[in-house]
Chain A
């Protein structure tokens, strides 16, 4: 296919701004900013009047056009649309270096997503410029902003594979481990105390769990192995054995042990299978309850869910006081087949947190088969082998189930894209996932792109359940690398197609750490204004002898983590790893914190123990121009150079010379940049 004329044009204009001008610059060098006219010139090729898919686009009927002519729309991703995808030749505006692949490799993320764009007549956003990309991917993968040097080196790099290389570099960093330890700490609800159930792990148990998550990620432990470790954990002491703290988190009071078994399996299916509706089924049949939201659940009985919960029977969890004279502080054990402690899943309850469990067989008594429910895996009917450990069998069934892979890749997708292919990502309906076997009318397939979901799951399995490999596949895709800027008319119904990148408000931890990185001002415990110990005194962490963290992302919890940052982090809705999830909302309190919190103002100090090396470096450099100062601030805080209008606005605010007035103005400019929405959001 011949490239349309405007591709060449885009290339030549981009060449003006990228080649030569920026190559070889470092953070110290003054650099002229990219003018806004250049930016606009790059982007105007993504205007909607541009024939995005090339002149042959109209040959392909969209669902909308079919509907208009009274035809029923084709089911998405039919053989026709897939063959069409391979023929598509489209190039966005954006940068010289990066065009969308002319033909996406069959089976790649982009082959599915771009087929959707084509089939539905959606023009995707242009591809990210390097400046957008380096900040976005660094934040998404490591929770940190890139250093000024790294940004410049990346933009200047002429290697066509530089994005893939950057991704490899980021995933290998210890910061990647920190970020994903926090993510999985959220997913596994690792907190020292769950308020909703009063369940206590105590800081020591939580720390053991945190350390296990961290080590597993650092070692690149396959995710099926991680899941197995958690599901099948046995331990005599949860202060020592991290993974046992996972199921312990499901212990509930005010009910029979079956309530705990139910809670454990409900949590496990939420975490690893993305199926929160199992929780409903543990109280009642799906019919009459889930009829219009989950087809699979509608056909599933409470008894089926009991069979699943039965895998958690024969497990005992008991407390041991650390100090025999004090029953209020204890660790747990989590053991199988303990004499006098463990039981089968029996149908003999009348009270508790869930409705009565009684056999439907008249006159059923203890000792009869009808009285207990044997374990049976709900999605394929398999059962533990004779003498097989129940939970080991469950781990085998779950990790061997493609739904485990689907749920995991979908959780990851939801993180990177702001919404899942199945969304919310824990509402999977197993009866509506197979594009070859669609559900009966009026049901529809549940994933917004079922073939993509299956392909990603398959890749995850074939890749050995390697989380790093999965993330690489996602962030290397053109889909992930679409800009968040959408030059045309955005429509809400484009959302499930991922036709632009959705912005993400940074986590509170990311904001605190970005301010630390940008200003260079490391946290410190201050005693009479002097730094008595570097790092944060994290509650239940450093006082138990662990090393002091330097970044908020290294905190082991999201509740009451550290005195100087708690209020700030809480205002950014970090959740409680119990009944409140982490959120991405904004609030007035966040704005008040961003503008006035001591935490941030301290980092702008020019003198004292917390003086910012960035700011003091700028004010102490004699003879450096204000243009240098502005460039340096933008680069260190926003990971980019200012536009020409931003430059002139900033210069107008900076007095000449090296005086107190200029010093204050430098602080004020830094304050303004930290309060810009392109600092607060990953875009």
Chain B
């Protein structure tokens, strides 16, 4: 344990561990602020808040800027790290068929991920990642917004993809008709928070037919006439918002929707053949990665793609046996992710596209539970590939059982938290992760990566080698 992490741990111990990172001192949460507005309490309240965002200096950070696109894969349910990407062979527990081998410094279960085993030179694994809490819903939100959902601005915080969308929006060309932020198999994904609706995730469940409802039953000519009529009748409500901003925002959805209609390229890139689907394993996660690959190849404005792997990672029971075993589930990832990396490389996009994949937390290690499964645990892994990341390396080292980190292996000499991964994504895209937006509705200042904790969150630049 390093001195840095010990300090942090002491601080956590003093204030408790799980999901309170930002609760430890009185800073202005959304609720506080509205109470402040609502009850007319004195300005001295604000002055007492040490962590007021407006007082935090912007560092003018040096970003990597090596990636143009991000594919963010959330393994919902929290996969066991010690059975997958931070592999630990537990004698008498782990089936021998996992067949681990050390390749490129990664101890890897070649028996259950044979395809990725041949690609270890292409990806890096952080084995020093730590979740703040072990509650599914809270932590799934946490990794999507890169901050505590229950703390300041948590409930109006945008998805990381929406921040990327807002940052990259000015670069959109008139020909860019695809949404900047695409969410596949992610109907429950966090939305744009307080940002404008145009930065919202476009949520699609992949289908061979592409996106539904992109043609009108009456034909294109009549549709165009209808749309023209709609705009002439509704312009005043849609653009000057006399009844409030939500109606004006709604107009953005119509503009974006219209661009997706009667456009052959939409189904060309969002649809797929069963043959192509088979290349990716013929699973819904595979189809999502296939569509992600095609959409990036189209190069029509999509910059951030979130994929949710709803493949049953919450394995409290029978982790090594039956249809729901981790062997059958990780095969879905092995098939899909290897095909995605292959595809991106073939299209010359791998070096421009950062792939980040992890769960909302990890699981218990060593012997399995009485139910033959693994329960929730904070230690976890994070997978990185492409976008300038140097493959064939592990960042940090966990102990023999995988319960804790023994070697942090990066500049901050502490765990990597979801906020650090958020900062890493921004840095890869050339976005200053220390940015503070001034357009939040509370006038408090919205930090891309929260700064109100006891220590600064930083990108894991070691990934670039």
Contact = CB atoms under 8 A, between A and B. Distances in A.
B261 A596 contact: yes
Contacts of A503: 243-244, 246-247
B35 A446 contact: yes
A671 B136 CA distance: 42
Q: Which of A493, A587, A681 has the most CB of B within 10 A?
A: A587
Interface of B: 14-16, 18-20, 23-27, 29, 31-32, 34-45, 48-49, 136-137, 150-151, 155, 179, 187-188, 191, 197, 200, 202-204, 211-218, 222-223, 225-227, 229-230, 232-234, 237-238, 242-244, 246-247, 249-251, 253-254, 256-258, 260-261, 316-317, 369, 371, 375, 441-443
Contacts of B256: 588, 591
15 contacts: A76-B39, A288-B24, A289-B16, A289-B23, A442-B45, A444-B41, A500-B244, A583-B191, A585-B197, A586-B197, A601-B217, A664-B222, A672-B226, A677-B238, A678-B237
Contacts, number: 227
A549 to B, nearest CB: 24
A596 B216 contact: yes
Q: Which of A293, A667, A683 has the most CB of B within 10 A?
A: A293
The 8 closest A-B pairs by CB, nearest first: A448-B38, A591-B257, A288-B16, A496-B38, A592-B213, A596-B213, A672-B230, A591-B253
Q: Which of A292, A484, A584, A601 has the most CB of B within 10 A?
A: A292
A63 B40 contact: yes
A444 B393 CA distance: 51
A587 B244 contact: no
Contacts of A650: 229, 233
Given A63-B40, A448-B35, A596-B214, A586 B253 contact: yes
A254 B316 contact: yes
A196 B188 CA distance: 13
A442 B31 CA distance: 13
Given A284-B16, A444-B36, A673-B233, A484 B243 contact: yes
B35 A292 contact: no
B229 A672 contact: yes
A668 B222 CA distance: 8
B35 A445 contact: yes
B155 A601 contact: no
A289 B20 contact: yes
A677 B251 contact: yes
Contacts of B136: 196
Interface string A646-668: 10011001000000000010011
Given A596-B216, A677-B250, A681-B247, A580 B188 contact: yes
A450 B41 CA distance: 14
Nearest to A653: B229
Contacts of B369: 351
Contacts of A597: 213
Interface stretch (A67-75, A90-98, A151-159, A380-388): A67-75
A587 B31 contact: no
Given A292-B23, A595-B213, A676-B233, A668 B225 contact: yes
Contacts of A351: 369, 375
A351 B233 CA distance: 62
A590 interface: yes
Contacts of A505: 246, 250
A221 B229 CA distance: 48
A680 B250 contact: yes
Contacts of B29: 292-293
B246 A586 contact: yes
A672 B45 contact: no
Interface string A562-588: 000001001000000001100111111
A468 B26 CA distance: 40
B15 A288 contact: yes
A424 interface: yes
Contacts of B253: 586-588, 590-591
Interface in A361-397: none
Contacts of B216: 595-596, 601
A101 B41 CA distance: 29
A490 B441 CA distance: 12
A675 interface: yes
Contacts of B442: 492
Nearest to A591: B257
Contacts of A292: 23-27, 29, 32
